């Protein structure tokens, strides 16, 4: 199985994804004031979230980055990533938002001018209307940021064509702009750690699983650029191993300094193995040692990065029961839908109700299979107790689909009326969000 970021297949089998691709289950992290998507298990997986959690707990700087593809109109499915961005922003993350205008051109043929218009009218204005705050937040266009494009070219040194074939299924007919677009995205993800943009620090990229290939690529690239590898062997022995071709002695001395400063005494330098063994360290010491080592390496190379972390959210099912998709308007609630039209879509949505009212009174509904319930859970009902009441009264047969849909439709209508009013008021203030080198 291969994940194709440009296809529109639906991933329903999240368990299999975790196993097959080594995405870790998102559990065991205590978060302050957890946002609804975390409380309700919508965010189900992660890579390297420990680094972010550590930054939150220890109040160390971290960044969050997302990108938007300016091709279709923004719908409720797109809002989920922004909800996460705003949540981590409130916990102190510095926010970067990439307008993927190069990717949109490379993979969908959308011109840069058109991409810019779509980004501003559909996405950026909506983000602001949804409550994205100005401080500590910058939006930029891929085509406008030199460092992103430079990185795309330079990072490519660490990726070969067979990796691109294996990860993305690229072949002889893939156009070169498309072939490069994952590297541009790696540029997005990693450039925030360049000195100019704040230096090396943990960076979170919240995505749907379709974007996981880009995450793996970026993590591999970040790792490949490290000068040293701090790791525990299977027997628990901790060591620093030099990966760089040059300056082995210098880096081993650096490692010795780092380990010494951290209070370790059992240091054995073995230049023939390019290794420094730290006999009194345990595997639990590795993250802190690695972090200290990374920051030292950054003084010797401009391309030292923390491996980016990611979270994965479930996709909301389309209103018709298939995938929510921009190309089939009946499946999604678009933020630009006339509110009455959106309410009608909800009234026509597929539910988890029984074939007749009598039957439903008797056996109850199935909220787990209901696109209306999903809408309530992902977007419309903030209060957990209220959501729980809805769930239980649906299961018991007390709640019937007609009335339930009406309620949801009214919530959607009111949300859109209010949202669209706020979006109209954004006017040209979006400019304040776009960075100078945006």
Q: What is the DSSP string of 67-123?
A: EE--SS--BHHHHHHHHHHHHHHHTT-EEEEEE-HHHHHHHH---HHHHHHHIIIII
Binding residue for ligand TRP, selected from 85, 100, 110, 370, defined by CB under 6 A: 100
The one segment of 120-128, 166-174, 253-261, 363-371 that binds ligand SF4 by CB under 6 A: 363-371
Among 23, 63, 65, 118, interactor with ligand TRP by CB under 6 A = 65
Cα separation, 100 vs 70, whole angstroms: 7
| Whole-angstrom distance, CA of residue 326 vs CA of residue 434 | 25
Residues 135-194 that bind ligand SF4 (CB under 6 A): none
Partner from ligand TRP, ligand SF4, none binding residue 98, C-beta < 5-8 Å depending on class: ligand TRP
405 makes contact with ligand SF4 (CB under 6 A): yes
Comparison of 255 and 333: residue with beta carbon closer to ligand SF4: 333
- For ligand SF4 (CB under 6 A), the number of binding residues is 14
> Which of 117, 76, 70 lies closest to 335, judged by CA?
76
**401-411: b (≥16 Cβ within 10 Å) or e:** beebbebbbeb
Q: How far is CA 121 from the centre of its chain?
A: 22
Q: Which two tokens stand for residue 248?
A: 């082995």
Nearest to ligand TRP of 126, 211 (CB atom): 211
Binds 367: which of ligand SF4, ligand TRP, none (CB < 5-8 Å by kind): ligand SF4
What are the backbone angles phi and psi of residue 132, rounded to the nearest 5°? -60, 130
For residues 77 and 328, give the distance between their C-alpha atoms in angstroms, rounded to a whole number: 13
Q: Which of residues 377-396 bind ligand SF4 (CB under 6 A)?
A: 394
CB 70 within 8 A of CB 124: no
Count of positions on this chain that bind ligand TRP (CB under 6 A): 13
Judged by CB under 6 A, the stretch of 10-18, 62-70, 128-136, 373-381 that binds ligand TRP is: 62-70
Token representation of residue 33: 């004031």
Shortest Å distance, C-beta 358 to ligand SF4: 15
Which residues does 131 contact at the CB level (< 8 Å), separation at least 6? 86
- Taking the complex as a whole, the smallest distance from the CB of residue 333 to ligand TRP amounts, in Å, to 19
Q: Which of 122, 126, 185, 203 binds ligand TRP (CB under 6 A)?
A: 185
Cα 151 to Cα 190: distance, rounded to the nearest angstrom: 8
Residue 290 interacting entry, from ligand TRP, ligand SF4, none, C-beta within 5 to 8 Å by type: none
CA angle 148/154/157 to nearest 5° reads 140
CB-CB contact of 345 with 338 (8 Å): no
In the list 55, 142, 211, 351, the residue contacting ligand SF4 (rule: CB under 6 A) is 351
65 binds, among ligand TRP, ligand SF4, none (CB under 5 to 8 A by kind): ligand TRP
User: Under the criterion CB under 6 A, does residue 218 sit at the interface with ligand SF4?
Assistant: no
Contact between residue 437 and residue 150 where contact means Cβ atoms under 8 Å apart: no
- Say which entry of ligand TRP, ligand SF4, none residue 399 contacts (CB below 5 to 8 A, set by partner kind): ligand SF4
Question: Does the protein bind ligand TRP through residue 254 (CB under 6 A)?
Answer: no
Q: Report, in Å, the least distance between residue 192 CB and ligand TRP.
A: 10
Q: Which two tokens stand for residue 239?
A: 């060591």
Of residues 308 and 365, the one with the C-beta less far from ligand SF4 = 365
Q: Residue 46 carries which DSSP code?
A: E
Binding to ligand TRP in span 202-241, by CB under 6 A: 205, 207, 211
* Candidate list 98, 129, 401, 416; residue touching ligand SF4; CB under 6 A: 401
Find where tokens 């919530």 sit.
Answer: 411
Look at the block and give the residue holding tokens 């490519």.
Answer: 156
Residue ranges binding ligand TRP (CB under 6 A): 65-67, 69, 98, 100, 103, 185, 188-189, 205, 207, 211
Residue ranges binding ligand SF4 (CB under 6 A): 351-353, 365, 367, 370, 372-373, 394, 399-401, 404-405
């Amino acid at each position: 199985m291969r994940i194709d970021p440009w296809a529109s297949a639906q991933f329903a089998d999240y368990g299999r994804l975790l196993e097959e691709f080594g995405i870790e289950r998102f559990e065991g992290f205590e978060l302050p004031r957890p946002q609804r998507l975390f409380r309700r298990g919508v965010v189900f997986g992660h890579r390297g979230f420990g680094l972010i959690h550590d930054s939150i707990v220890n109040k160390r700087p971290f960044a969050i980055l997302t990108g938007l593809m300016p091709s279709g109109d923004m719908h409720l499915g797109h809002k989920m990533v922004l909800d996460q961005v705003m949540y981590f922003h409130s916990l102190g993350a510095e926010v970067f938002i990439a307008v993927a205008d190069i990717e949109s051109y490379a993979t969908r043929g959308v011109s840069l001018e058109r991409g810019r218009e779509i980004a501003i009218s559909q996405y950026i204005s909506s983000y602001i209307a949804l409550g994205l705050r100005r401080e500590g937040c910058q939006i930029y266009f891929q085509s406008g940021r030199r460092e992103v494009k430079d990185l795309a070219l330079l990072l490519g040194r660490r990726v070969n064509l067979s990796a691109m074939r294996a990860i993305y299924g690229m072949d002889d007919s893939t156009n070169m702009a498309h072939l490069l677009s994952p590297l541009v995205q790696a540029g997005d993800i990693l450039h925030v750690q360049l000195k100019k943009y704040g230096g090396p620090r943990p960076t979170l990229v919240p995505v749907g699983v379709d974007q996981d290939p880009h995450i793996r690529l970026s993590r591999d690239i970040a790792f490949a650029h490290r000068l040293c590898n701090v790791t525990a062997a299977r027997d628990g022995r901790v060591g620093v191993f030099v990966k760089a071709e040059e300056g082995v002695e210098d880096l081993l001395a650096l490692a010795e300094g780092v380990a010494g400063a951290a209070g370790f005494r059992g240091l054995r330098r073995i230049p023939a193995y390019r290794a420094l063994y730290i006999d009194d360290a345990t595997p639990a010491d590795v993250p802190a040692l690695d972090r200290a080592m990374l920051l030292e390496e950054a003084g010797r190379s401009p391309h030292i990065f923390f491996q980016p972390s990611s979270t994965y959210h479930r996709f909301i099912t389309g209103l018709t029961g298939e995938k929510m998709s921009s190309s089939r308007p009946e499946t999604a609630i678009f933020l630009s839908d006339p509110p009455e039209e959106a309410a009608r879509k909800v009234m026509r949505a597929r539910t988890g109700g029984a074939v007749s009212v009598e039957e439903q009174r008797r056996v109850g509904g199935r909220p787990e299979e209901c696109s209306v319930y999903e809408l309530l859970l992902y977007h419309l009902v903030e209060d957990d107790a209220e959501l729980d009441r809805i769930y239980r009264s649906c299961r018991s047969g007390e709640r019937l689909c007609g009335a339930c849909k009406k309620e949801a439709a009214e919530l959607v209508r009111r949300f859109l009326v209010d949202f669209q009013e706020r979006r109209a008021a954004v006017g040209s203030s979006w400019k304040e969000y776009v960075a100078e080198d945006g």
